[in-house]
Amino acid sequence: MKYSKIKKIAIYSICFIQVCLIFFLLNKEIKYFNWSMYHIHATYKLDVSVNDTILDAGSIYRRYKLYKNGEEYRSIGHIKRKIINREEIYGKDDVTKVVLIFNENKSGVKKWEWQNK
């Protein structure tokens, strides 16, 4: 009888810790390895100019592997990090300006701009 009580306490404790970690890490940049679903839906529009040349949708996809107009089910920070990392590694010699207009969970339209020089 005592063994089953300890077993129940252990199982409930593990589940409780998982639920606590999910709520704690919902809006963090890092993601804990768990079974939680994606909780963000963001629609975005990406405008990029490189050396004073505005890129079309195909060029943006080739450069960042992102669509000009798209949806993201992770944090919008994922897209920002992807753009910045790409530019820091491969686009050091280019003068790049990126404008990201996004609506995250229907909370209103926001604008993010990044320029490397």
Co-location of 32 and 46 in the same domain: no
Co-location of 23 and 80 in the same domain: no
Co-location of 54 and 110 in the same domain: yes
Co-location of 77 and 109 in the same domain: yes
- Element spanning 20, H or E: helix 2-24
Q: Per the structure, how many domains does the chain have?
A: 2
Co-location of 32 and 55 in the same domain: no
**In the predicted structure, residue 22 carries a pLDDT above the cut 80:** no
Structural domain span for residue 84: 42-115
* pLDDT per residue as tens digits for the range 85-116: 999 888 888 899 999 999 988 888 999 999 98
Buried b (16+ CB within 10 A) or exposed e, 79-108: beeebeebbeeebeeeebbbebebebeeee
Radius of gyration in angstroms for the set of CA atoms belonging to the chain, rounded to a whole number: 20
Q: Are strands 42-50 and 69-72 parallel, antiparallel or unpaired?
A: antiparallel
Which of the two residues, 98 and 34, has the higher pLDDT score?
98
* pLDDT per residue as tens digits for the range 52-87: 999 999 999 999 999 999 998 888 888 999 999 999
Is the pTM here over 0.85, yes or no? no
